[in-house]
Amino acid sequence: MTGATGDAGPQGIPGDPGATGGTGVPGVTGDAGAQGVQGDPGATGATGDAGAPGATGGTGDVGAQGVPGDPGATGATGDAGAPGATGGTGDLGPQGIQGDQGATGETGADGVDGEDGAVGPQGPLGLIGPAGPEGPQGSSNLPPGTIIELRAGTPPPAGFRLILSNVSKSYQSVKGGRTTRVLVDVYEKE
């Protein structure tokens, strides 16, 4: 049978602290409390020093055009400017109405004779005409070797033989001084 508990004895000397126990698991975060009443605004603080100028902003859009003002008074006439450069030639205008024919002018002096043109090709041989009547017997005192020229196709006198045919010769007209080209045959006295 257990006896009655006796009085507590005196406290013993404290023992050394025990080792720190491990950190417990964090507790669950509680709900946020209700927002408190806003306090009175504080006194305005002293004005701070001016800050450095900011960068220039971009050019804004052009504003709407204002109402035109009244015309100003006419200014004094300025000095005449220097003549401008001559402009380009304009387009040719339409042809005007033909005027009346003027009086006939005096005949001008004769111009210088032009150079002889090239000899054209010989034309086709013409038909032989009928023989003319025989002329009277002539006499010739021309020595042998005498050269004569007759228009091409003209029968030569007796005693002459043909040495050149269709030679182009230039002759100057007695009247007017014009130059004419003629084809001749050259004959030699035998």
Report d(CA 127, CA 184) in Å as an integer. 18
Residue 172 within a domain: yes
pLDDT of residue 150: 96
Contacts of 142 (CB under 8 A, 6+ apart): 189
Q: Quick check: is 151 in a domain?
A: yes
With respect to residue 126, please indicate whether it lies within any of the assigned structural domains.
no
137 found inside a domain:
no
123-141 residue pLDDT tens = 565 465 565 465 444 446 8
For residues 57 and 50, what is the distance between their CA atoms, to the nearest angstrom?
19
Residue 95 lies in a domain: no
Number of domains into which the chain is organized: 1
**Over the stretch 73-113, which tens digit does the pLDDT of each residue have?**
886 886 886 886 887 887 886 887 887 887 886 876 776 76
Residue 113 lies in a domain: no
CA distance readout (Å), 70 to 63, 74, 148, 172: 20, 12, 109, 93
Structural domain harbouring 183? 147-189
